[in-house]
Amino acid sequence: MKLDYDFKQYDFKLLFFIVALNTIGVFIVRSATSAESFKDALVVRQILGSFVGLAMCVAISLFDYRKFCKYSAYIYILSVIILAGVKIYGTASGHGATRWITVPVLGKIQPAEFVKVALILFFAEYLQKTKEEINTAHGLILEGLYLLLPVGLVLIQPNLSTAIIMTVIVSAMTFASPLKLRYIMAFLAVAATILILLFYLFASGLYDKIPILQGYQIQRILTFLKPDENSSGYAQQMYSIMAIGSGMFKGKGLFNNSIFSVKNGNFLIEEDNDFIFAVIGEELGFRGAIIIIIIFLLIILECLIIAYRAKTLSGRLICVGVMAWIGFQTYTNIAVATGLFPNTGITLPFFSRGVSSLLSVYFGFGIVLNVALQRKT
């Protein structure tokens, strides 16, 4: 493969931000899992995932993103087949959810994480090819059907949080396409109507009429809306807020043995996944948490800059898709940990333990780096 690139345009700044977050994330995972050393099996798996992810990211950044887009229809079909296979051959876990498949050597992986990248590639190419039709009812309905298929397969796992993330990604990409303002306003009006309807159903006690919500998901929302009546269910978010607050400005320090630590007292559940930001707040303090949030914001800003300078519409939409993915997922995870949102099960990119999420994020950023490498000068 001939690398006909001007490497002066390689976005080392974005790569540095990613590696910085991932490095801090490995230390946080070790602390969150209470591992005695970096040789602990869970930490070793996260470190290996980080190295493999970084190598994959750099390799993909040298591969022309337009070739990925060229075959994105086949990638989309393969993704749908795999998602269908997960329900049949997948491994069940908490709440009866079937989201994982076992792959030799790699172990358990969550295909829905990689489908996010597949959807970004597919819709980037689709929206570029149909930019003349996107402002028609036929074009928008067809796009909605293409999204509905993978989202529906994810919902039946069930995995509502990932389905929402997929919808946010594609919505952001569609808004960044040559879509007219009236359609954007119409979409936002429909979304607002749905939210008002959901609020009404919960306020009226008719939440059992919502077909896409499982029992535990309904309970999470009720706990958030009425914490006084569901104090046991709200405990996790309450302990998370306590942990973040107790870290104060400087934090209690990584791997601390403080008897006053919320994490060390085993009050938190999923402290290495959904509530890992609570560990960040407690051990790194307000100062450390703000630094991490700023790095996330710098990554989002860099994606916006690359999108603005992209040579093609598909390149721009890829950057917007990855930016929406990371931005929404980060904000939602932190919002849950600080009690602003009900518990969603959404992980924090580069920090929450899990190789599937880590590799898929690195894959996405590898494509963004290639878009940057071919940007307009």
Residues contacting 29, CB < 8 A, separation 6+: 42, 43, 46, 272, 276, 351, 353
The reported pTM is 0.92
* Domain limits, the chain: 7-373
Quick: pLDDT tens for 45-54.
999 999 999 9
Confirm if 359 and 49 have CB atoms less than 8 A apart.
yes
**CA angle, 293 as apex, 9 and 339 as ends, to 5°?**
145
The position carrying tokens 């040789």 is 39
Structure tokens belonging to residue 184: 């954007």
Measured over the CA atoms of residue 243, residue 249, residue 255 and residue 258, the dihedral's sign is negative
Structure tokens belonging to residue 298: 């710098």
Q: Within a 10 A sphere around the Cβ of 175, how many other Cβ atoms? A: 15
Q: Closest Cα to residue 129, out of 356, 353, 312, 337? A: 312
Tally of CA atoms within 13 A in the half-sphere of 9 that contains its CB: 19
Confirm if 177 and 313 have CB atoms less than 8 A apart.
yes
The position carrying tokens 């039709």 is 133
Q: Within a 10 A sphere around the Cβ of 298, how many other Cβ atoms? A: 16
For residue 175, report the phi and psi dihedrals to the nearest 5 degrees.
-65, -30
Confirm if 263 and 243 have CB atoms less than 8 A apart.
yes
Q: Closest Cα to residue 319, out of 336, 302, 333? A: 302
The tens-digit pLDDT sequence of the chain (377 residues) is 556 777 888 899 999 999 999 999 999 999 988 888 888 888 999 999 999 999 999 999 999 999 999 999 999 999 999 998 887 777 766 556 677 787 766 667 888 999 999 999 999 999 999 988 888 888 889 999 999 999 999 988 888 889 999 999 999 999 999 889 888 898 889 889 988 888 888 877 777 777 777 777 787 887 777 777 666 667 788 889 999 998 899 989 888 888 788 888 878 888 888 899 999 999 999 999 999 999 999 999 999 999 999 999 999 999 999 999 999 999 999 999 998 888 888 899 999 988 889 999 999 999 999 999 987 76
Confirm if 102 and 300 have CB atoms less than 8 A apart.
no
State how far the Cα of 258 lies from the Cα of 283, in Å rounded to an integer.
Answer: 10
